[in-house]
Every structure is written in C-alpha cells, then in structure tokens.
Amino acid sequence: MGLTAFAIGLVLAQGSDEVELVRTFTKGERLTYEVTSSILSEQQFYPYTHFLPSEYGLSYRFTTNVLDVREDGFATVRYERPEIKELLGETADSPPKTNTERVNWRMEFTLSPINEITGMKDLSPPKPPARDKTALLARTIAPQDQEQDGPPPFIAGLIRELYGLAMFTGSLDSALDFSPKLPFEPVKPGATWKRTVSYQPQRLAGTTRQAVQRLDFTYTYVGLVQEAGRQVQRVTGAVTLDTNAAEFVNQLLDMKPAESGLSAINLKLDTTITFDLDPKTMRTLRAEAVSTGGFKVEVTQIEGRPVVEEKFKVKTSMRPVAAPR
C-alpha cells in the first residue's frame, strides 16, 4: 500500500464512527402515532399549609402522509389530528372522566430531512379557535380571601407556557410530533446540538436585569444501541429553566417590588427525553419524556411564604400505532 492510500485509509477509519442523522421519506408513506401526556401536581394556596393533589392528562393521535419527495430530500406532508382527549382526575366533587374534543386539524407543509417544518398551509375547516388545554391548568394564584376569577393575564401566560413546555402541548415546533430536531452535520457519540423551543424571561449574564431570551433544547447523540430486540439510533435531549420572572415584569412596569406588590414568580423546569430512531430512515420509533418543575408566586403583602405554590411531574410519550405502507 502506498503512503497516499494509507493516509486516505487512516482518515476514513478515523471518521468511520460519524453518522449522518438524516430523515429519509418515501412517497406514499403513511404513519400514525399516539401521544400521551399526564401531569401529577400538588398545589398549596395561601393561607392553607397543606398541598392539594390533582391529575390531568392529554392524548391524541396524528397521521402523516408523504405526498411527494424532492430531490433534495424535503417532503411534502399532509398532517391530520382529528381529536384531543382530555383526562381529568378524580376530585372531591367528581369522579375521573374523559372529555373528547373534535379539533379536525388538517395541514400540509414541507418537512426537511432534519425534521424542521416549513411552508405550512392550514387545510382545516373554518371553526372557532380551539380551547387552550394548558389554560385549564392555570390555577387561581390570588390569596383565598380575594375575589378574583383567575390570575392576572401576564402571570397566567407564563404558567400556561410552563405547562406547555413540560407536556409538549404547544405548537408543532415544540411538540413531540416531529422530534427530535436532527443535527446539520455528521455526528459521533457524545456530540450535542441545540434548537430553540421557547422564549422566556431570563437574567442577562453579568447583570441584574432580565430580558426575554431563547430557551434551547440540547440534544445529544448516544449512538447505536439495542432496544427491545432491535438496533436503534438513540438521541437524548434536555432543557432546564430556573428563573424569577417577577424581575422582568417589574422592569416592564418600571416599578420596584414594593410598588408593584410582586416579589417573585419563580418558574422551574427540568426535562429529559429519550428518542429511539430507525437506523435506516431516522423516523422516530419511540419518544419518552419526563419533566419535573413548578412555580411559586410571592407578593410583598404576605411575607415568608408564597400565595400559591405548585410542584409537578409530567410523563409524555409518543409511539407509532400503524406501520408505514
């Protein structure tokens, strides 16, 4: 073997453990997945000292149909989600129950080989705006002796966003339906990459001020592993949020806590997720996520304890229920 051939062989050997995580599509491919998400939470409301447990869940099935595949690997996909099931846990006033809402989501878009959605077209029949399911989780955060229908809009919005992130029930960009977002370049085991999933008030590095900044999901390529008797490409992901959004709200109001009455809106979230991908097509075979977190709201009028505190744990999964045709 000549020196040049040896050098080429050495380079190829060094790069042999790199993998291109590229999703490939086949025209006519039809897939159906089921997504389930359940949250167990405990809430404490002032002036009470005990936590009240509650359960809530969502589930839905969606179908994708590949209408066409371009030479560059981008696919035209028809997406359908007929309904969403809402699972309500037992309360003091009622037994567990399930509500089903027909949403009739029908969309057509371009899906890239790294699972990014572009050029979306809504084909759903005209209808009133669907209920924001996570809004049902936004508990009243005022002290019990105050007459108030719900939290102020800016606080309710922050809480809804936290629930949406924990349960993956936000937009299609942040849902599990087209996850994980794959890397642009070939990767080796241990490689990481990031994708933005939300924007949250966070402290600017080296300052005492906050600004709405990107909240990134960090993906890690684990490698080829054995799972349930078959080889899969495994990718994990993680996102962490720990912020006091009251600082940002007071900045917007140009007030100090003593003036606004708002001393803390502590938001916490820690999510880990495992994706198993088909080694040939990189379509998702399984996704399992666990999120823990909560929030705590404190006001200056009540010192030493929050007016409301919640701790929660969420489990979310996505699995195929029909094989491609």
In the prediction, which pLDDT does 51 show?
92
CA distance 125 to 41: 36
CA distance 253 to 255: 5
CA distance 113 to 23: 5
Is the pLDDT assigned to residue 292 strictly greater than 90?
A: yes
Check: CB of residue 134 under 8 Å from CB of residue 163: yes
CA distance 87 to 101: 11
Is the pLDDT assigned to residue 313 strictly greater than 70?
A: yes
Is the pLDDT assigned to residue 1 strictly greater than 50?
A: no
Q: Is cis: bond before 306, omega within 30 of 0?
A: no
Residues paired with 306 in a beta bridge? none
What would the mean pLDDT of 163-185 be, rounded to a whole number? 86
Which is more confident, 150 or 17? 17
What would the mean pLDDT of 203-229 be, rounded to a whole number? 75
CA distance 75 to 66: 7
Residue 154, classed as helix, strand or coil, is helix
In the prediction, which pLDDT does 49 show?
86
Check: CB of residue 31 under 8 Å from CB of residue 324: yes
Instruction: Give the range with max mean pLDDT: 244-253, 286-295, 298-307.
Output: 286-295
Q: Which helix (H) or strand (E) segment is 10 a member of?
A: helix 3-14
Closest by Cα among 311, 313, 296, 294 to 40: 313
What would the mean pLDDT of 156-172 be, rounded to a whole number? 82
Q: Per 3-state DSSP, what percentage of the chain is helix, strand, and coil (rounded to 5)?
A: 15, 50, 35
CA distance 78 to 22: 20
What would the mean pLDDT of 237-256 be, rounded to a whole number? 84
What would the mean pLDDT of 152-174 be, rounded to a whole number? 79
Which is more confident, 154 or 303? 303
Is the pLDDT assigned to residue 212 strictly greater than 60?
A: no
The dihedral formed by the CA atoms of 194, 196, 197 and 203, expressed in degrees to the nearest 10: 110
Q: Is cis: bond before 47, omega within 30 of 0?
A: yes
Closest by Cα among 156, 230, 177 to 34: 177
In the prediction, which pLDDT does 152 show?
65
What would the mean pLDDT of 191-212 be, rounded to a whole number? 66
**pLDDT bucket at 241, cuts 50 / 70 / 90:** confident
Residue 262, classed as helix, strand or coil, is strand
What would the mean pLDDT of 280-285 be, rounded to a whole number? 96
Q: Which long-range CB contacts under 8 A does 200-208 form with residues at least 24 apart? A: 200/161, 200/241, 200/243, 200/245, 200/267, 201/158, 201/243, 201/245, 201/247, 201/248, 201/249, 202/241, 202/243, 203/243, 203/247
| 244, two tokens | 């006091």
In the prediction, which pLDDT does 8 show?
42
What would the mean pLDDT of 250-274 be, rounded to a whole number? 87
Q: Which of 137-141, 149-153, 160-164, 256-260 has the lowest mean pLDDT?
A: 137-141
Is the pLDDT assigned to residue 111 strictly greater than 50?
A: yes
**pLDDT bucket at 153, cuts 50 / 70 / 90:** low
Closest by Cα among 187, 130, 200 to 159: 200
DSSP character at residue 32: E
Find how far residue 216's CA is from the centre of its chain: 11
**pLDDT bucket at 161, cuts 50 / 70 / 90:** confident
Closest by Cα among 139, 138, 143 to 46: 143
**pLDDT bucket at 143, cuts 50 / 70 / 90:** very low
Q: Which of 64-68, 197-201, 261-265 has the lowest mean pLDDT?
A: 197-201
Which is more confident, 139 or 268? 268
Q: Is cis: bond before 180, omega within 30 of 0?
A: yes
Residue 134, classed as helix, strand or coil, is helix
